[in-house]
Amino acid sequence: MFSLLTVGCWGLYGAFLHTGQVSMGDPVNGRYKAFLCVGLAYFLTAVVAPFAMLVIKGASWSFTAKGVSWSILAGIVGAVGAFGVLLAFGAKGTPAVVMSIVFAGAPVLNAIYSLILHPPAGGWQKLPLPFILGIVLAAAGGCLVSYYKPAPAASTKPTVAAASGMNSAPARPTEPQ
- Within 10 angstroms of residue 35's Cβ, the number of other Cβ atoms is 19
The pLDDT of residue 157 is 64
Q: What is the pTM of this model?
A: 0.72
∠ Cα 19 25 29 (to 5°) = 95
Q: For residues 148 and 150, give the distance between their C-alpha atoms in angstroms, rounded to a whole number.
A: 6
Please check whether residue 89 is in contact with residue 95, taking contact to mean a CB–CB distance below 8 angstroms. yes
The pLDDT of residue 10 is 85
Low-confidence ranges of the chain (pLDDT < 70): 157-177
pLDDT digits (tens, 9 = 90+) for 56-69: 999 999 999 999 99
Give the single-character DSSP code of 60.
-
Q: What share of the chain is helix, strand, coil (3-state, %, to 5)?
A: 70, 0, 30
Domain residue extents for the chain: 1-57+69-93, 94-150
The pLDDT of residue 169 is 46
The pLDDT of residue 160 is 52
The pLDDT of residue 68 is 94
Please check whether residue 96 is in contact with residue 145, taking contact to mean a CB–CB distance below 8 angstroms. yes
Q: For residues 18 and 12, give the distance between their C-alpha atoms in angstroms, rounded to a whole number.
A: 10
